Amino acid sequence: MFLHHIGIGVRDLEKAIVFYRDILGFTLEKRIDWDDSGLKAALFSTGESKLEFIQAVNPTGRVALSLERAIREKDGIVHHLCFAVEDIEEAVRTLMARKVRMIDEEPRTATGGRIAWLAEDAADGFMIELFDLRYEIR
């Protein structure tokens, strides 16, 4: 398991893109629209690190709604850490055997691959996403 990216919630994705791409010089790898959950995002790289800036536009589902709530309170919040795992099914089984509460007790298929979210209270209110190493961010 390794840290793949840090997800940062923002109120204005376009403003974040301009700042991180045009002012700081980070590489914009992809723009992402998750229409089914009401989120849009931009994935940046700088060196070996990746940052994912996310805006809730029409949030549906638990993850999107948690982002919207957090953004109402403070702009630019760290929303989640995303860890890449070799075998997502095994990672979920291991966490559940260790009594970790999961939003996704079975990995779900998202655009690009399989993911699973830990419940908000699993890491003291901090969101953690797992995704399969074969996940392809689109």
Q: Return the half-sphere exposure (C-beta side, CA atoms, 13 A cut-off) of residue 108.
A: 10
Task: Kindly state the DSSP code that residue 126 receives in the 8-state scheme.
Answer: -
Confidence of residue 77 (pLDDT cuts 50, 70, 90): confident
Q: Is the dihedral of CA 9, 14, 20, 24 positive or negative?
A: negative
**Per-residue pLDDT tens for 2-57?**
888 999 999 999 999 999 999 889 999 999 998 788 899 999 998 888 999 999 99
Say if residue 67's pLDDT is above 90: no
Q: What is the pLDDT of residue 4?
A: 86
Q: How far apart are CA 117 and CA 129, in angstroms?
A: 5
Domain 2-132 homologous superfamily, CATH? 2,3-Dihydroxybiphenyl 1,2-Dioxygenase, domain 1 (3.10.180.10)
Mean pLDDT of the chain: 88
On whether the CB atoms of residues 59 and 37 are closer than 8 A, the answer is yes
- pLDDT band, residue 135 (cuts 50/70/90): low
Number of neighbouring beta carbons within 10 Å of residue 89:
13
Kind and range of the H or E run holding 101? none
Residue 111 has pLDDT above 80, yes or no: no
Report, in angstroms and rounded to the nearest whole number, the Rg of the chain calculated over CA atoms. 15
Please tell me the total number of residues recorded for the chain in this structure: 138
The CA distances from residue 84 to 4, 23, 48, 64, in Å, are: 6, 29, 14, 20
- Coil, strand or helix at 84: strand
- 127 by DSSP, 3-state: which? strand
